[in-house]
Amino acid sequence: MTARPPASVSIDLDNLWAYLKTHGDPGWRRYPSFLPAAVPRLLEVLGDQRLTTTVFAVGADVVREDGAKAVNEISAAGHEIGNHSFGHEPWLHRYSRDRLEEELRRTEDAIVTAGAPPPVGFRGPGFSVTRELIEVLEERGYAYDASTLPTWIGPLARAYHNRTAPPSVDDGRGELFGGFSRVLAPVHAYRWRTAAGSALVELPVTTMPLLRTPIHGSYLLQLHGVSPRLARAYFKTALRLCLVRGVAPSLLLHPTDVLGGAEASGMEFFPGMAIQGSRKVAWLGWVLKTLREHFDVVGTGEYVRRTELRRERAVTRLEPLR
């Protein structure tokens, strides 16, 4: 029997307050949370599909009771916990090196206190990544970063986001999701090459081979809201292209992939929130089942451990966000 090629699945555990904060809604300061509703649902779907994955947790949630409980339950179920920054601000490119180190350290401490092993993987909010971040991750002993989304659609997503957001002072939203230069970024996993001889792996979030359009959960749900048949055809096409092009898909999910609008008050602006939570759960089950039919699916950390990488990329070639 021929072994199936590898794939990975990860979840960014972005909470309700983080979406409201990025969107410019002052209600975020109350730190509203949908983790008690989303996490059991996500664990149930993953359990039904017999999958262990990687969950990138936000430190500001993990220091709170519901976030610590979520991380403890997720880790106890066998899933890897990664670092998704402390404050979930998608403009890490504006941070000093000292502030980047503090974001990582505070989240590491919170994750360990919640009962999970120290994280070895990182994903920047809003796919925010810089040369300084890569160097700091290497210095702190991380095995991999997963902060790149190789697509040309970032500026379009930014325009949609900012059009629906209230006017505010310049807080970094004008630089969300990167620029058109990201279309040239690699779709395969690779190692960063630094003057110090980095061993840090970059694992991009997979986009449609050749077309470079997103295939992660929220985009699939947006298509599903237009036409379930279209969404299924789009995802199957993406997987076929991954097989033909030798791309190991890294599928990204979010809690919003299992929540309806009534469970996330204030997020009417976000794609797919008009779809009922039960329909989303059924759709996500189909997506994961279809992925498993063609690939050996693991978490991002396990994928990095199993894979021998020959590609390298100089950290000096890291494109700016804009």
pLDDT digits 0-9 by tens, 247-286: 999 999 999 999 999 999 999 888 899 999 999 999 999 9
- Kindly report the CA angle at 66 between 26 and 24, in degrees rounded to 5? 15
283 φ, ψ (degrees, to nearest 5): -65, -45
Domain spans in the chain, listed from the N-terminal domain onward: 6-207+288-317
Residue 272 burial by CB count (10 A; 0-12/13-18/19+): exposed, middle or buried? buried
β-partners of residue 201 are 144, 191
Distant-in-sequence, close-in-space partners of 150: CB < 8 Å, separation ≥ 6: 182, 183, 184, 185, 186, 187, 204, 207, 212
Q: According to DSSP H, which parts of the chain are helical? A: 16-23, 35-48, 59-62, 65-76, 97-113, 131-139, 154-164, 217-226, 228-245, 277-294, 300-306
Domain 6-207+288-317: CATH architecture, name and number where available? Alpha-Beta Barrel (3.20)
The answer to whether residue 164 scores a pLDDT higher than 50 is no
Tell me the per-residue pLDDT of 6-15, one tens digit each, with 9 for 90 and over.
999 999 999 9
Give the integer Cα–Cα distance in Å for 182 and 118.
Answer: 30
Q: Does residue 6 contact residue 295 with C-beta atoms inside 8 Å?
A: yes
Q: According to DSSP H, which parts of 192-276 are helical? A: 217-226, 228-245
Give the integer Cα–Cα distance in Å for 99 and 105.
Answer: 10
Give the per-residue pLDDT at 304: 96
pTM exceeds 0.95, yes or no = no
Distant-in-sequence, close-in-space partners of 168: CB < 8 Å, separation ≥ 6: 24
| Residue among 99, 100, 16 nearest 61 (CA) | 16
Give the per-residue pLDDT at 237: 98
Per cent of the chain over pLDDT 90 is: 74
What residue type is assigned to position 273 of the chain? Answer: M
Give the per-residue pLDDT at 170: 44
β-partners of residue 55 are 11, 81
Helices (H) and strands (E) in the chain, counts: 11, 10
The answer to whether residue 180 scores a pLDDT higher than 70 is no
